[in-house]
Homo-oligomer: A and B are copies of this chain.
Amino acid sequence: MAKVKKAPRPKAQAPKGFRDYLGAEVTERAEMLQKIAGVYHRYGFDALESSAVETVEALGKFLPDVDRPNEGVFAWQEDETADWLALRYDLTAPLARVYAQNRNELPTPYRRYAMGPVWRNEKPGPGRYRQFYQCDADTVGAGSVAADAEICAMLSDTLEVVGIERGDYIVRINNRKVLNGVMEVCGIAGDDKADERGIVLRAIDKLDRLGENGVRALLGEGRKDESGDYTKGAGLSDAQADIVMGFMSAKRDSGAATAARLSELVAGSKVGEEGVNELLTIAELLEAQGYGPDRIEIDPSVVRGLGYYTGPVFEAELTFEIQDEKGRPRNFGSVAGGGRYDDLVKRFTGQEVPATGVSIGVDRLLAALRMKGRVENHAAGPVVVTVMDKGRMADYQSMVSELRNVGIRAEVYLGNPKNFGNQLKYADKRNSPIAIIEGGDEKEKGVIQIKDLILGAKIAESATLEEWKDRPSQYEVPRGDLVAKVREILESQE
C-alpha cells in the first residue's frame, strides 16, 4: 500500500565499510564456530549472547583509536534526554556489564564464551570492515594466573581442532606488569604520565607495522606517516627509549632465559618482578600439561593495543608463509589475542573482579583455513527438477518432495520455464549435480530423463561432438526409479 513508486531510487549497496556474506561464506564460518564452541564447552565455558546495543557509558572508552570522533564506535541518541546508545565494539566490555548485572545469579568464577559481530567506526580499507565477527572466551572472577594459562592452552587446542596444525601456529605470552615495571624504571610510572604510557603502549603494539625506527620515533619526539599525518611521541630520552626497545627484544631461546633477561630489565620494580614471576608460573603450569614452547612461549614483544589489560597478555600467530599484496613472503600473522583485565568489572561495581580472556578474529582464522585447504566444500547445489509443462507443476513438486523426504537437496525450477536452456544455465549456476526432465513424451511413457551434470561437464571438456551426442551422462529411467537413480548418481559423484 505504501507509495513506493514515487520515492527516488535508492542505491543497491551495503554502506561503506560493510559487507554481506553469501552461501558457503556463511556455512563455513558456522561450521568453524561450532568446532570452536565444542572446545570451549569441553573446558567448562558457557555460552552468552549479549545485546548488540549498549549504553555508551557501559561500553567505556578503551579502543586504541582514541583520537577519532565518537571514539571509534557507532553511537546515537534518541533525543536530548535519552542515554547515548552504541553498537558494541568488542565482546569484552559487554561481558563486564553482563557479569556486573547478574553477579548474584552467576557462578564465580564465571567462564563464558561469546560469538558474534562487533562494530567499529573506523576508516574502512582493503580487508578492513566496520562490522566483523569475534569469538571470545573469558573467565571472570579468577585472579590466579592458572586462569590465564588455561585460556592459552584452550587457544592452542582450538587452533588445532579447527585445522591449524601444530608448528603452523604459536601462542605468545607477555605480561603488562613487566611493561609497567619497564615504565617504572624509565620514570614514567606516575599518575601524571598516563598519556606517555599510552603512547608507549601503542608504539610497541605497532612494531610489526612501523619497524624499529618508527617505534623509536613514537617513543621520542613523534612520527609523521606517509600521508603526512603527525602522531605525537612519548617524549622519552634516548636512554629511556633504549630500555623500552630492550624490553621488546628480550626474547631468548627458552622461557627461563627470557624471564631472566626480563628480570634484569625490571630490577628494582616490584610490579615488574611480580610480572616476571607470573610468566614463570604460567610457563610451569602449561609445561606440566604438555604445552611446550613449540606451542606456547613467552615473548616480550606482545603488548596488545587495548587500554584495559592489567596482567598477562597473549596472542596467537599463524607462522606459515603467505604472500603479501606485492608478492613478498610474510607470516600469516595474528588471529587471536587477549589478556587479563582486572579493572573492567570494577568500573560498574566498585569491587575488584579479576578477569582474563581471549578473542579470536573469526574472519582471519577462516581465511587461513581456506588457504590451507582445511574448509569442507559447502558449494554443492540441489538436484534441479526442470519444468517442461507449466500446467504440471504439481507433478514436478511431487518429485522434489520424494527426493527431500529421503534427505536429498532438491528443488523445482521456479523461473520462467519457456526457455529450457535458461533452466540448464540456472542448474549450472547453482552447481547442481543432477537435472531431471519430464516432458510430455516422457510423461506418456512413464519415464523421466536424469542428467548427470558433473559427468556431463567433464565430458563436455574433453569429448568429441560424436561422443557428446551419445549423451552417456543422461539416463532414461521409469518414473518410479527417480530416487534410486538419483542416489546412485550422487554416490558415483563423491
Contacts and interface: CB of A to CB of B under 8 A. Distances in A.
A394 interface: yes
Contact of A397 (B19, B62, B142, B285): B285
A407 to B, nearest CB: 7
A311 interface: no
A147 B414 CA distance: 7
A237 interface: no
A60 B10 CA distance: 9
A420 interface: no
A47 B30 CA distance: 10
A172 interface: no
Interface string A274-300: 000000000011001110000000000
Nearest to A46: B23
Interface stretch (A50-58, A252-260, A443-451): A50-58
Interface of A: 1-5, 7-15, 18-27, 30, 41-44, 46-55, 57-58, 60-62, 69-70, 74-76, 78-79, 83, 85, 87, 97-98, 100-102, 107-109, 111, 117, 119, 121, 130-131, 139, 141-144, 146-147, 149-150, 153, 194, 197-198, 201, 284-285, 288-290, 307-308, 343, 346-350, 381-382, 384, 393-395, 397-398, 401, 404, 407-416, 426, 429-430
Contacts of A5: 343
A120 to B, nearest CB: 12
A22 B102 contact: yes
Given A146-B397, A285-B394, 16 more contacts: A12-B58, A15-B85, A18-B51, A19-B51, A21-B49, A42-B409, A42-B410, A44-B410, A44-B411, A51-B131, A76-B76, A87-B87, A109-B426, A144-B393, A150-B414, A289-B397
Contacts of A414: 109, 139, 141-142, 144, 146-147, 150
B12 A97 contact: yes
A44 to B, nearest CB: 3
A347 B451 CA distance: 38
25 contacts: A5-B343, A7-B347, A10-B57, A12-B101, A12-B348, A14-B98, A20-B101, A22-B48, A22-B98, A42-B404, A42-B409, A43-B410, A43-B411, A44-B384, A44-B409, A44-B411, A44-B430, A52-B52, A108-B415, A109-B413, A144-B414, A153-B397, A285-B394, A288-B397, A289-B394
